Amino acid sequence: MAKSPDQEHPHKAFGWAARDKSGLLSPFHFSRRENGDEDVTIKILFCGVCHSDLHVAKNEWGFTNYPVVPGHEIVGTVMKVGSNVKKFKVGERVGVGVIVGSCKKCESCQQDLENYCPQTIFTYNSHYTDGTKTYGGYSDMIVVDERFVLRFPDNLPSEGGAPLLCAGITVYSPMKYYGMTEPGKHLGVAGLGGLGHVAVKIGKAFGLKVTVISSSPKKEAEAIERLGADSFLVTSDRTKMKAALGTMDYIIDTVSAVHPLLPLLSLLKLNGKLVTVGLFDKPLELPIFPLVLGRKLVGGNEIGGMKETQEMLDFCAKHGVTADVEVIRMDYINTAMERLAKYDVKYRFVIDVASSLSQ
């Protein structure tokens, strides 16, 4: 007989879950596993609200297994470590991102690319190795295999650092893989939301010239004065788009709705690379002539492995890169989700779990 969520494991846990495709979240009692030899038990302090949380809460991708406790931008403190744990000790501040397990044996895992392992276990809405469901960071505690826990650098604030665990690595990893780190080169960032604003900051930290490409003229002042972008292109401004043709070495495309690729491809120089990191499931139109005539490519990327995620956190700490956040209480979450659906946030909500999660 299947055990109920609050009984399947020995440690009581409390969070907020969505129970159906309305996506509305409400208090939820469940349980966490015993801290195994390789595990770290974490009291959750903050959790970022990623747009994926909204997609999954509403079953927009069709694979949500209700009830779901979202949240994969988790910052907390270590409460307990297993006997084989070497990297962490009680009291330390740590992070957990998008994945909490992988096979550890395949070629991808051996290359520190756990994010491409065919048996990746996601922080929420997946099944763990013991067959039970994984529940995410909109909750008071989590138990995670040491390999999937990240050390949080001392000078990185929890609130501004939490979103880096998904948004940060989502843009950092392709920038490294596709070679977008040569100082002086020109990076375009399409879309200025959770992912986009972090891409601008990381791009500047790499010494790149950064142009934001957006459909909203209102974001220009913000992009240039506060985020440090060098220039701003409004996609409907034909004169400026024309003047920018063939000027960019690479583009990180964070737009997560169907949008035309041809204008973006035209902004690239010869051998230019357009990397799409926004998750959406409707098809895009890919014009082939620009790819062939300019030897350009369109690539994808999905978060990053654990080693690279740690590298990204350390890089951000070193360069003072944090996400711009609006800290909220847990009971504001449904309003936050509504606002997120309308892109009404600069640029990530972060739930102050420890202060606001009360039973």
Partner 1 sequence: MLGEMAMSPENEHPVKALGWAARDCSGHLSPFKFSRRATGEKDVTFKVLYCGICHSDLHNVKNEWGTTSYPVVPGHEIVGVVTEVGTKVTKFKVGDKVGVGCLVGSCQSCANCKDDLENYCPKMILSYGSKFYDGTITYGGYSDVMVSDEHFVIKIPANLPLDGVAPLLCAGITVYSPLKYYGLDKAGLHLGVVGLGGLGHMAVKFAKAMGLKVTVISTSPNKKKEAMDHLGADEFLVSRNTEEMQSAIGTMDGIIDTVSAVHALLPLIGLLKTHGKLVLVGAPEKPLELLAMPLLMGRKIVGGSLIGGIKETQEMIDFAAKHDIVSDIELITMDYVNTAMERLSKADVKYRFVIDVANSSKSS
Site residues, partner 1 (CB under 8 A):
108, 113, 116, 177, 261-262, 270, 276-281, 283-302
> Parallel, antiparallel, or unpaired for β 209-214 and 268-276?
unpaired
Ranges assigned E (strand) in 24-178: 25-32, 39-49, 74-81, 93-96, 99-101, 121-122, 141-145, 149-151
Nearer Cβ to partner 1, position 221 or 284?
284
Nearer Cβ to partner 1, position 140 or 308?
308
Nearer Cβ to partner 1, position 307 or 319?
307
Nearer Cβ to partner 1, position 139 or 301?
301
In whole angstroms, the minimum distance from the beta carbon of 230 to partner 1 comes to 22
In whole angstroms, the minimum distance from the beta carbon of 145 to partner 1 comes to 22
Q: Which of 250, 242, 237, 243 minimizes the C-alpha distance to 185?
A: 250
In whole angstroms, the minimum distance from the beta carbon of 199 to partner 1 comes to 15
In whole angstroms, the minimum distance from the beta carbon of 127 to partner 1 comes to 18
In whole angstroms, the minimum distance from the beta carbon of 261 to partner 1 comes to 8
Q: Answer whether 353's CB lies under 8 Å from 47's CB.
A: yes
- 242 sits in the region (left: phi over 0; alpha: psi -120 to 50; else beta) called alpha
Nearer Cβ to partner 1, position 147 or 259?
259
**Contact residues for 327 (Cβ-Cβ < 8 A; gap 6+):** 46, 159, 349, 350, 351, 352
In whole angstroms, the minimum distance from the beta carbon of 177 to partner 1 comes to 7
In whole angstroms, the minimum distance from the beta carbon of 219 to partner 1 comes to 23
In whole angstroms, the minimum distance from the beta carbon of 108 to partner 1 comes to 6
DSSP run (H or E) holding 246: none
Nearer Cβ to partner 1, position 279 or 354?
279
In whole angstroms, the minimum distance from the beta carbon of 185 to partner 1 comes to 14
Question: What is the 8-class DSSP label of residue 47?
Answer: E
Nearer Cβ to partner 1, position 93 or 296?
296
CA-based radius of gyration for the chain: 20
Place of tokens 């204008």: 263
Report DSSP letters for 185-251, one per residue: -EEEEE--SHHHHHHHHHHHHTT-EEEEEES-GGGHHIIIIIS--SEEEETT-HHHHHHTTT-EEEE
Nearer Cβ to partner 1, position 117 or 192?
117
Helix (H, G, I), strand (E, B) or coil at 212: strand
Nearer Cβ to partner 1, position 2 or 292?
292
Q: Which of 22, 96, 100 minimizes the C-alpha distance to 64?
A: 22
Rounded CA separation 271/294 (Å):
6
Residue 314's Cβ-count burial label (10 Å; 0-12, 13-18, 19+) is middle
Residue 4's Cβ-count burial label (10 Å; 0-12, 13-18, 19+) is exposed
Question: What is the 8-class DSSP label of residue 133?
Answer: B
